[in-house]
Chain A
Protein backbone atom coordinates (compact mmCIF):
# COMPACT_ATOMS: atom_id res chain seq x y z
CA UNK A 1 0.00 0.00 0.00
CA UNK A 2 3.02 2.31 -0.49
CA UNK A 3 1.84 4.46 -3.42
CA UNK A 4 4.41 7.20 -4.09
CA UNK A 5 7.49 7.14 -1.86
CA UNK A 6 9.77 10.16 -1.64
CA UNK A 7 13.08 10.49 0.14
CA UNK A 8 14.41 12.31 2.06
CA UNK A 9 11.62 14.05 4.02
CA UNK A 10 13.88 16.89 5.16
CA UNK A 11 17.19 18.23 3.91
CA UNK A 12 19.39 21.22 4.67
CA UNK A 13 22.03 22.18 2.13
CA UNK A 14 24.64 24.88 1.85
CA UNK A 15 24.71 27.01 -1.27
CA UNK A 16 26.58 25.19 -4.01
CA UNK A 17 26.03 21.69 -2.66
CA UNK A 18 24.35 19.05 -4.77
CA UNK A 19 21.74 16.47 -3.91
CA UNK A 20 19.25 14.08 -5.46
CA UNK A 21 15.64 13.65 -4.40
CA UNK A 22 14.39 10.13 -4.95
CA UNK A 23 10.88 9.12 -5.93
CA UNK A 24 9.39 5.69 -6.57
CA UNK A 25 5.84 4.56 -7.26
CA UNK A 26 4.46 1.04 -7.14
CA UNK A 27 1.20 1.65 -9.03
CA UNK A 28 2.63 0.93 -12.50
CA UNK A 29 1.90 4.52 -13.56
CA UNK A 30 3.37 5.79 -16.79
CA UNK A 31 3.46 9.52 -15.95
CA UNK A 32 5.55 11.00 -13.16
CA UNK A 33 6.03 14.60 -12.05
CA UNK A 34 8.15 16.81 -9.85
CA UNK A 35 6.53 19.93 -8.36
CA UNK A 36 7.74 22.59 -6.00
CA UNK A 37 5.43 24.45 -3.67
CA UNK A 38 6.17 27.90 -2.29
CA UNK A 39 3.90 30.12 -0.17
CA UNK A 40 1.35 31.91 -2.31
CA UNK A 41 2.58 30.23 -5.52
CA UNK A 42 0.67 26.97 -5.58
CA UNK A 43 2.20 23.88 -7.12
CA UNK A 44 4.59 24.61 -9.97
CA UNK A 45 5.79 21.91 -12.31
CA UNK A 46 9.55 21.43 -12.53
CA UNK A 47 9.83 18.39 -14.80
CA UNK A 48 7.55 15.72 -16.14
CA UNK A 49 8.03 12.23 -17.56
CA UNK A 50 5.30 10.72 -19.73
CA UNK A 51 6.99 7.33 -19.89
CA UNK A 52 10.24 5.54 -19.18
CA UNK A 53 13.05 7.20 -21.08
CA UNK A 54 11.30 10.52 -21.72
CA UNK A 55 11.40 13.74 -19.75
CA UNK A 56 10.09 17.24 -20.44
CA UNK A 57 10.56 20.62 -18.83
CA UNK A 58 7.76 22.17 -16.89
CA UNK A 59 7.20 25.73 -15.74
CA UNK A 60 10.33 26.13 -13.56
CA UNK A 61 13.09 23.73 -14.74
CA UNK A 62 16.15 25.96 -14.32
CA UNK A 63 18.67 24.61 -11.82
CA UNK A 64 17.27 21.08 -11.90
CA UNK A 65 17.86 17.84 -13.77
CA UNK A 66 15.83 14.67 -13.76
CA UNK A 67 16.24 11.01 -14.57
CA UNK A 68 13.50 8.51 -15.30
CA UNK A 69 15.55 5.51 -14.30
CA UNK A 70 12.80 2.99 -15.03
CA UNK A 71 9.03 2.94 -14.90
CA UNK A 72 8.99 3.10 -11.10
CA UNK A 73 11.63 5.71 -10.35
CA UNK A 74 11.97 9.41 -11.18
CA UNK A 75 14.73 11.38 -9.48
CA UNK A 76 15.32 15.13 -9.23
CA UNK A 77 18.85 16.49 -8.96
CA UNK A 78 20.06 19.89 -7.81
CA UNK A 79 23.59 20.25 -9.14
CA UNK A 80 24.47 23.48 -7.32
CA UNK A 81 21.83 24.42 -4.80
CA UNK A 82 20.79 28.05 -4.40
CA UNK A 83 18.72 29.73 -1.65
CA UNK A 84 15.95 30.29 -4.24
CA UNK A 85 15.52 26.53 -4.33
CA UNK A 86 14.37 26.44 -0.72
CA UNK A 87 10.93 24.93 -1.06
CA UNK A 88 8.76 21.90 -0.50
CA UNK A 89 9.13 19.37 -3.29
CA UNK A 90 6.46 16.86 -4.28
CA UNK A 91 6.72 13.89 -6.55
CA UNK A 92 3.51 12.64 -8.13
CA UNK A 93 2.34 10.02 -10.57
CA UNK A 94 -0.73 9.02 -12.56
CA UNK A 95 -1.82 6.62 -15.24
CA UNK A 96 -2.46 8.94 -18.15
CA UNK A 97 -5.69 8.31 -20.09
CA UNK A 98 -6.81 5.67 -17.63
CA UNK A 99 -7.17 7.42 -14.28
CA UNK A 100 -6.63 11.16 -14.36
CA UNK A 101 -6.07 11.41 -10.61
CA UNK A 102 -2.62 12.50 -9.51
CA UNK A 103 -1.14 10.64 -6.54
CA UNK A 104 1.38 12.54 -4.44
CA UNK A 105 4.35 11.58 -2.33
CA UNK A 106 4.63 13.00 1.20
CA UNK A 107 7.01 15.79 0.18
CA UNK A 108 10.58 16.89 0.86
CA UNK A 109 11.22 20.06 2.82
CA UNK A 110 14.47 21.50 1.45
CA UNK A 111 16.32 24.45 2.92
CA UNK A 112 19.33 25.95 1.16
CA UNK A 113 21.41 28.23 3.37
Chain B
Protein backbone atom coordinates (compact mmCIF):
# COMPACT_ATOMS: atom_id res chain seq x y z
CA UNK B 1 0.00 0.00 0.00
CA UNK B 2 1.12 3.57 -0.60
CA UNK B 3 1.64 5.34 2.72
CA UNK B 4 0.59 8.99 3.01
CA UNK B 5 2.40 10.93 5.73
CA UNK B 6 0.88 14.29 6.53
CA UNK B 7 2.41 17.05 8.60
CA UNK B 8 1.82 18.74 10.87
CA UNK B 9 -0.90 16.76 12.62
CA UNK B 10 -2.32 20.02 13.94
CA UNK B 11 -1.66 23.72 13.75
CA UNK B 12 -3.05 26.95 15.12
CA UNK B 13 -2.90 30.14 13.08
CA UNK B 14 -4.46 33.58 12.97
CA UNK B 15 -6.95 34.90 10.47
CA UNK B 16 -5.04 36.16 7.46
CA UNK B 17 -2.06 33.85 7.97
CA UNK B 18 -0.61 31.72 5.23
CA UNK B 19 -0.94 28.05 6.13
CA UNK B 20 0.92 25.14 4.55
CA UNK B 21 0.20 21.43 4.99
CA UNK B 22 2.45 18.79 3.51
CA UNK B 23 1.88 15.23 2.39
CA UNK B 24 4.70 12.82 1.62
CA UNK B 25 4.07 9.53 -0.14
CA UNK B 26 6.00 6.27 0.24
CA UNK B 27 6.61 6.07 -3.51
CA UNK B 28 6.36 8.37 -6.48
CA UNK B 29 2.79 8.89 -7.60
CA UNK B 30 3.26 11.64 -10.19
CA UNK B 31 0.40 14.11 -9.47
CA UNK B 32 -2.22 11.65 -8.24
CA UNK B 33 -2.89 13.47 -4.97
CA UNK B 34 -6.13 15.03 -3.84
CA UNK B 35 -6.99 17.20 -0.85
CA UNK B 36 -10.13 17.20 1.26
CA UNK B 37 -11.55 19.44 3.97
CA UNK B 38 -13.64 17.91 6.74
CA UNK B 39 -15.57 20.01 9.21
CA UNK B 40 -16.78 18.56 12.48
CA UNK B 41 -19.53 16.01 12.01
CA UNK B 42 -19.53 16.36 8.24
CA UNK B 43 -18.30 14.30 5.31
CA UNK B 44 -15.01 15.22 3.64
CA UNK B 45 -15.28 17.77 0.84
CA UNK B 46 -13.02 17.67 -2.22
CA UNK B 47 -10.88 20.81 -2.49
CA UNK B 48 -8.12 19.98 -4.95
CA UNK B 49 -7.51 17.07 -7.32
CA UNK B 50 -4.55 16.04 -9.44
CA UNK B 51 -2.29 17.87 -6.99
CA UNK B 52 -3.14 21.38 -8.14
CA UNK B 53 -6.58 21.61 -9.80
CA UNK B 54 -9.13 23.52 -7.75
CA UNK B 55 -12.53 21.84 -7.54
CA UNK B 56 -15.40 24.00 -8.80
CA UNK B 57 -16.69 26.37 -6.15
CA UNK B 58 -13.65 26.15 -3.88
CA UNK B 59 -12.23 29.56 -2.89
CA UNK B 60 -9.06 30.59 -4.69
CA UNK B 61 -7.17 31.02 -1.40
CA UNK B 62 -6.74 27.25 -1.51
CA UNK B 63 -3.98 25.93 -3.74
CA UNK B 64 -2.04 22.72 -4.19
CA UNK B 65 1.35 21.88 -5.58
CA UNK B 66 3.86 19.09 -5.84
CA UNK B 67 4.65 15.96 -7.77
CA UNK B 68 6.43 12.69 -7.19
CA UNK B 69 6.45 12.14 -3.45
CA UNK B 70 6.03 15.62 -1.94
CA UNK B 71 2.82 17.60 -2.04
CA UNK B 72 1.54 20.77 -0.42
CA UNK B 73 -1.81 22.32 0.36
CA UNK B 74 -1.66 26.06 0.96
CA UNK B 75 -4.27 28.41 2.34
CA UNK B 76 -3.05 31.85 1.33
CA UNK B 77 -5.10 33.86 3.83
CA UNK B 78 -6.71 31.80 6.56
CA UNK B 79 -10.40 32.53 7.22
CA UNK B 80 -12.52 31.59 10.24
CA UNK B 81 -14.52 29.13 8.14
CA UNK B 82 -11.33 27.23 7.28
CA UNK B 83 -11.22 25.69 10.74
CA UNK B 84 -11.37 21.99 9.87
CA UNK B 85 -9.36 18.85 9.38
CA UNK B 86 -7.57 18.41 6.05
CA UNK B 87 -6.67 15.11 4.42
CA UNK B 88 -4.58 14.12 1.44
CA UNK B 89 -5.47 11.04 -0.62
CA UNK B 90 -3.70 9.18 -3.40
CA UNK B 91 -5.59 8.05 -6.50
CA UNK B 92 -2.58 6.44 -8.18
CA UNK B 93 -3.41 2.86 -7.33
CA UNK B 94 -5.66 0.68 -5.22
CA UNK B 95 -6.01 0.38 -2.35
CA UNK B 96 -6.73 4.08 -2.27
CA UNK B 97 -5.13 5.57 0.85
CA UNK B 98 -5.43 8.73 2.90
CA UNK B 99 -3.11 10.77 5.06
CA UNK B 100 -3.65 10.94 8.79
CA UNK B 101 -5.08 14.45 8.62
CA UNK B 102 -4.12 17.93 9.80
CA UNK B 103 -6.35 19.79 12.23
CA UNK B 104 -6.35 23.53 11.54
CA UNK B 105 -7.50 25.78 14.35
CA UNK B 106 -7.99 29.53 14.39
CA UNK B 107 -6.18 31.44 17.15
| A joins B in a complex | no
